[in-house]
Amino acid sequence: MDTVRDYIRERFLLLGLPAVNSLIFDIGANLCEQGLSLDDRVTHERLKAVKTEFVKILPTVLLAPQNISELGVSITMAKREDVISYYHQQCKALGIKDELSEIEAKEEARKKPTIRFL
């Protein structure tokens, strides 16, 4: 793994996710605001910024379908729960806001039965 682009592609593949160029471009645009480029070498100093931007894009990835099949070609994405677990763990490790926890808490609150007295 030499460049930031390579690191991001390998991260997507590690999670069983397609390394979509538009997502890599979005990560690159966010890194550009921090003075980094997709073509920069991954160093210890740059690693946290790259990991952070990768993790921040994961909620967008979760919106994609898990299975795509067309013209005899099939692509299967990692299980949604696995990606969410990875996201939670990385948000905690990187000290960034976990956007999905708030959404999950609201969904759980809606699922609880309510009792109404008349």
Q: What is the pLDDT of residue 17?
A: 78
Token pair in block for residue 104 = 């999950």
Q: What residue segments make up the domains of the chain, in order of their start? A: 4-111
| Rg of the chain over all Cα atoms, to the nearest angstrom | 17
Q: What is the pLDDT of residue 117?
A: 76
**Cβ-proximal residues to 94 (8 Å cutoff; 6+ apart), any chain:** 48, 51, 52, 55
Q: What is the pLDDT of residue 96?
A: 84
Q: Low-confidence residues of the chain, pLDDT below 70?
A: 1, 63-69, 74-78, 102-112, 114
Helix axes 21-32, 4-14, angle to 10 degrees: 130
**Considering the entire predicted model, what is its pTM?**
0.65
